[in-house]
Amino acid sequence: MPAYPPLSLHIPEPPGRPGVPTDFSYLKVSPAGAVRRPPIDARPDDTMDIAESLVRVLDDDGEARGPWAPAADPALLRRGLRTMLLTRAFDARMLIAQRQKKLSFYMQSLGEEAIAIGQALALAPDDMCFPTYRQQGILIARGYPLVDMMCQLFSNPRDPVKGRQLPVMYTSRAHGFFTIAGNLGTQYIQAVGWAMASAIKGDTRIVSAWIGDGSTAAADFHNALTFACVYHAPVILNVVNNQWAISSFQTLAGGEAATFAARGVGNGIASLRVDGNDFLAVLAASAWAQERAHRGCGATLIEWITYRAGAHSTSDDPSKYRPADDWARFPLGDPVARLAQHLTRIGAWSDAEHASTQAEVEAEVMAAQKEAESYGTLASGHVHDASMMFDDVYRDMPAHLRRQRAQAQGA
Amino acid sequence: MATMTMIQAIRSALDVALGRDENVVVFGEDVGYFGGVFRCTEGLQAKYGKTRVFDTPIAEGGIVGVAIGMAAYGLRPVAEIQFADYVYPGYDQIVSGAARIRYRSAGDFISPLTLRMPCGGGIYGGQTHSQSPEALFTHVCGLRTVMPSNPYDAKGLLIAAIECDDPVIFLEPKRLYNGPFDGHHDRPLVAWTGHPRADVPEGHYTVPLESAAVFRPGRDLTVLTYGTMVWVAACAAEETGIDAEIIDLRSLWPMDLDTVVTSVKRTGRCVVVHEATRTSGFGAELAALVQEHCFWHLEAPIERVTGWDTPYPHAQEWQYFPGPDRVGAAYRRTMEA
């Protein structure tokens, strides 16, 4: 036997810490337009090169380049930009309202708005989404009333989920938006089940599943890839790689050794790695994946590279674990600024319109907030009656819950 | 009417459900082409096609997860977990998903799925093919947990479970699949053939959930039990000559408390029998309920006869299994107290 050195355990470290600027060379960014666009019926193993590069359409000057540049109607892009501005304004107002204790907790999507909104615009309105807590952009893009979102956040008597869920855990079957779980990743395999059901019934609706880079470590992610591959499930498997899971850098989910997109290829699923801050790339990659699902080519995994610009939630303080200027230095920039630059370049947007739209969406959010607050907030104590906590445990309330409800009411 | 084993009764229930409702789908490991390791789904894929009855990857978390997605879509999934001992990778999906989707969405989405799983020992299955994990499910609000003790109930309860809009954990005592079993492992096997509880209608019927059965009326004491132990409890009554009233709970939770309370108030004595381990077992809940509702009628402490608090051993199976001698001794103690 040779004399081997003692073994040592590898603990991944992020490429930046407070006071140590991040070295973003780890990101592996391809130039805009450089990555090929395979045919819709590409074999999964014919996407490995794309899973290891980065699909980008918009270059640094806001020009759309290469085979992925979508033939997008400027009206659709303008709608996308307005929806991103609205979502960002909504998030900003709700952060303030949380500090005012009108809601107990909030999670913003700052910096990654393009992914949820771009995909929502690429999907049919009745395609089913199984989101995480950072895809409020889907609901807003699909026209779910801001007032209803706020009533959920404020846990007031108009909260559609009766005060049972943390703020942000929306649900709306009517908007193809599955009830959000606080247990990370559980929705991913459930989404595959919905897609299998859609195929079993000969439906034409497909599914969009969502997970973050951190939660790809969970068994549900791997189960979802296995089932999606085995049954050719008509599902888009989105992995939002925003670099951080609370304080855990994406290398703690295995991002150091291989891309998250490469995990799809290894599981027999066509996979793309895409610039998630490039609205045009989001539209194009989502459309490609959607087309595959509809044509029976099976699932597509898309790893979206983006950056969680804000704290994980209002209970988090990222200044404790990452450099304060990280987002400003992130190589893929801000999705709002990049789409505005492109639209301005093609003559479909202007600084003046940007300013007026900004004012418009802020007014819209303020008006919605005024109305929602009139129904009550957590701070005002206007919440659903406590006796309703016994409803919906079962379809029909069993005897033991009727007894407990009577006890709770002091009967 | 036909004489059916418990396996045939379960298969018949699945057949009836698949035939009546196009939204019923049946799946699990080895369930499709092969028909299941216990043969409960034999012939169903050939009859209903591969998209209604199919095999799955060996991933219980995946099986339960896709069942939840299908149920939310509008299907009626009936998933088989090959042994209850294998369900644990799916437990998060059951607890955080199936049990709570109606509640957390205020009824916007529901989870009408049935999870069938063989449970219990007596087949030399060792610690990974013998467990009775019912208490892990009765503790979870939003679930219904069911365990039949005979072919007639198995079919009627399974159809009721599939038609129920709530998620149902359907535990099948595998030692009863081919015949009633009184715990005397050293005696010849008894088949279901000719047994009155194996007379099973071929068509549709249900045994309602939340309804217990008085398996054996009696005056001396009340036995609360379910599954295989119903037969063991009845054997112990015959052998001790104690006139035990044996209540087969059938639905463990939510349960039929009225039948229990009526009986215990009348007999004044209560023995709880289950095969699962003792501590925090479902028997603890039963004893607490009897204490809460019947305390002033009790003439003796409530006894529990259960499996020991050890993993289910292989070679020592019959020392672990709470057979008729242990149950009978508890009857005597209760009568003498």
| Location of structure tokens 């009764």 | B9
Tell me which residues of chain B have a C-beta less than 8 Å from any C-beta of chain A: 25, 51-52, 56-57, 59, 61-62, 65-75, 77, 89, 92-93, 96-97, 101-110, 141-142, 144, 164-166, 210, 254, 257
Pairing of strands B244-248, B213-216: antiparallel
Query: What CA–CA distance (Å, rounded) separates B105 from B109?
Result: 6
Best residue of A129, A183, A189 to probe chain B, by most B CBs closer than 10 Å: A189
Q: Are A116 and A137 in contact (CB under 8 A)?
A: yes
- Verify whether the Cβ–Cβ distance A194 to B93 is below 8 Å: no
Concatenated DSSP letters for A272-307?
A: EEEETT-HHHHHHHHHHHHHHHHTT---EEEEEE--
Residue A178 C-alpha, separation from nearest chain B C-alpha, in angstroms: 8
Q: How far is B205 from chain A (nearest CA, A)?
A: 21
Tokens of A55: 């699909």
Say which amino acid occupies B18: L
Question: Scanning the structure block, which residue is given the tokens 């009830």?
Answer: A179
Contacts of A398 (CB under 8 A, 6+ apart): B210, B254
The length of chain B, given as a count of residues: 337
Best of B24, B50, B66 to mutate (most A CBs within 10 Å, chain A): B66
Whether residue B92 and residue A393 make contact (CB cut-off 8 A), yes or no, is no
**CA proximity to B143, closest of A330, A395, A189:** A395
Predicted local confidence at residue A384, as pLDDT:
87
User: What residue of B is the nearest CA neighbor of A391?
Assistant: B103
B139 catalytically annotated:
no
Torsion angle, alpha carbons of B315, B318, B322, B326, to 10: -130
- The reply to whether A202 touches chain B by the CB within 8 Å rule is no
Report which DSSP code applies to A7: P
Nearest CA to B251 among A390, A400, A389, A403? A400
Split at pLDDT 50, 70, 90, the class of A2 is confident
**pLDDT higher than threshold 80 for residue A15:** yes
Query: Å from A214 to nearest chain B CA?
Result: 18
Q: What is the C-alpha separation between B248 and B322, in angstroms, rounded?
A: 17
Lowest mean pLDDT among A106-110, A249-253, A407-411, B251-255: A407-411
A219 touches chain B (CB under 8 A): yes
pLDDT of residue A411: 67
Which residue in B59, B69, B107 is closest to A190 by CB distance? B69
The partner residue sitting opposite B70, judged by closest CB among A165, A197, A392, is: A197
User: Closest approach of chain A CAs to the CA of B90, in angstroms?
Assistant: 10
Nearest to A69 by CA among A272, A342, A353, A364: A342
A235-255: pLDDT as tens digits: 999 999 999 999 999 999 999
A186, A197, A394: residue with CB nearest B93:
A186
Pairing relationship of beta strands B244-248 and B221-225 according to DSSP bridges = parallel
Residue of B nearest to A199 (CA): B51
Beta-carbon separation of B106 and A395 below 8 A: no
| Residue from B18, B50, B51, B70 to probe the interface with A (highest A Cβ count within 10 Å) | B70
Which among A170, A175, A180, A200 is the top mutation candidate for probing chain B, defined by the most B β-carbons within 10 Å of its own β-carbon? A200
Mean pLDDT across A379-386:
87
Query: What is the distance, to the nearest Å, from the Cα of residue A193 to the centroid of all Cα atoms in its chain?
Result: 20
Cβ separation A196–B69 shorter than 8 A:
yes
C-alpha B236/C-alpha B331 separation (Å) is 8
Whether residues B62 and A197 touch (CB distance < 8 A) is answered with no
Within 8 A of B257 by CB-CB distance, chain A residues are: 399-400
ipTM above 0.90, yes or no: yes
Phi, psi dihedral angles at B317 (to 5 degrees): -50, -45
- Domains, chain A, ranges and CATH? 40-309+329-380 (3.40.50.970)
Q: Which ranges in A100-213 belong to alpha helices (H)? A: 113-122, 136-141, 146-154, 186-200
Confidence class of residue A377 from pLDDT cuts 50, 70 and 90?
very high
Do B61 and A201 lie within an 8 Å CB cutoff? Answer: no
Residue with tokens 């979802």: A224
**List of chain B residues with pLDDT < 50:** none
Q: Which amino acid is at B9?
A: A
Closest C-alpha to A379, from A153, A162, A105, A154: A154
How many whole angstroms separate alpha carbon B105 and alpha carbon A172? 8
Q: How far is A45 from chain B (nearest CA, A)?
A: 21
Indicate the pLDDT class of residue A277, thresholds 50, 70 and 90: very high
Query: What local confidence, expressed as pLDDT, does residue A383 receive?
Result: 86
Query: What's the mean pLDDT in A350-358?
Result: 98
Give backbone dihedrals phi and psi of A327, rounded to 5 degrees, phi first: -65, -40
CA A369/CA A167 separation, integer angstroms: 15
Furthest C-alpha separation in chain A: 78
* Of B129, B195, B297, B314, catalytic: B129
CB within 8 A of A3, min separation 6: which ones? none
Using CB atoms, which residue from B65, B142, B144 is nearest to A193? B65
A177 to chain B, any CB pair closer than 8 A? The answer is: no
Q: Is residue A405's pLDDT more than 80?
A: yes
How far off is chain A from B166, nearest CA to CA, in Å? 6
**Tens-digit pLDDT profile for residues B33-91:** 999 999 999 999 999 999 999 999 999 999 999 999 999 999 999 999 999 999 999 99
Which chain A residues are Cβ-neighbours of B249 within 8 angstroms?
Answer: none
Nearest to A398 among B61, B75, B210 (CB): B210
A304 reaches B (C-beta below 8 A): no
Sign for the pseudo-dihedral over CA of B100, B104, B107, B110:
negative
* Position B23, amino acid: N
CB contact under 8 A, B69 and A193: yes
Q: How far apart are alpha carbons A318 and A314 in whole angstroms?
A: 10
In Å, how far is A227's CA from the nearest CA of chain B?
7
Residue A1 has pLDDT above 90, yes or no: no
| Closest B-chain CA to A161 | B106
Element (H, E) at A156: none
Place A215 in a pLDDT band, splitting at 50, 70 and 90: very high
| Alpha-carbon gap: A353 to the closest alpha carbon of chain B (Å) | 39
CA distance B46 to B32: 9
User: pLDDT of A364-373, one tens digit each?
Assistant: 999 999 999 9
Contacts of B164 in chain A (CB under 8 A): 395
Distance CA B261, CA B111 (A): 31
B-chain CB neighbours of A192 within 8 Å are 65-66, 69
| Contact by Cβ (8 Å): B168, B115 | yes
- The pLDDT tens digits for A226-236 are 999 999 999 99
**CB contact A210 to B (< 8 Å):** no
